[in-house]
Amino acid sequence: MQVNVTFRQMEHSDALKQYAEDKISKLKKLLKPPVDARVTFSVEKYSHIADLAINAGGVTINASEKSEDMYSSFDLAYSKIERQIRKYKEKHQNR
């Protein structure tokens, strides 16, 4: 699993990068290889934005969240991605 983390208009944070990589690696058991994940952290005035894009087996899943804290933005976007992946897997298992 390859995870690319990008920081825009903010300082590079190793702790935030490691946190994102650890959380996204948990999705590995739900997805078929090859899996590529793109995480973008950005700041606009007082809003912290986390964008996630996961490409697995030809399927691309995107999520974006905005809040006052970067960790909570990432957690909200991560929960969206996880929910979308579970929905996609259930849909394909039923067919």
Domain ranges of the chain: 2-94
Q: How does residue 18 score in pLDDT terms, banded at 50, 70 and 90?
A: very high
Q: What is the DSSP string of 26-69?
A: GGGGGSPSSEEEEEEEEEETTEEEEEEEEEETTEEEEEEEEESS
How far apart, in whole angstroms, are the C-alpha atoms of residue 36 and residue 47? 26
Q: Taking 80 as the threshold, does the pLDDT of residue 92 lie above it?
A: no
What pLDDT, on a 0 to 100 scale, did the predictor assign at position 35? 85
Are 39 and 20 in contact, with CB atoms under 8 Å apart?
Answer: yes
Q: What is the pLDDT of residues 79-91, one digit of tens each?
A: 999 999 888 888 8
- The span from the first CA to the last CA of the chain, in angstroms, equals 27
Q: Taking 90 as the threshold, does the pLDDT of residue 77 lie above it?
A: yes
Task: Please tell me the pTM assigned to this model.
Answer: 0.88
How far apart, in whole angstroms, are the C-alpha atoms of residue 95 and residue 82? 21
- CATH architecture of the domain with residue range 2-94: 2-Layer Sandwich (3.30)
What pLDDT, on a 0 to 100 scale, did the predictor assign at position 93? 73
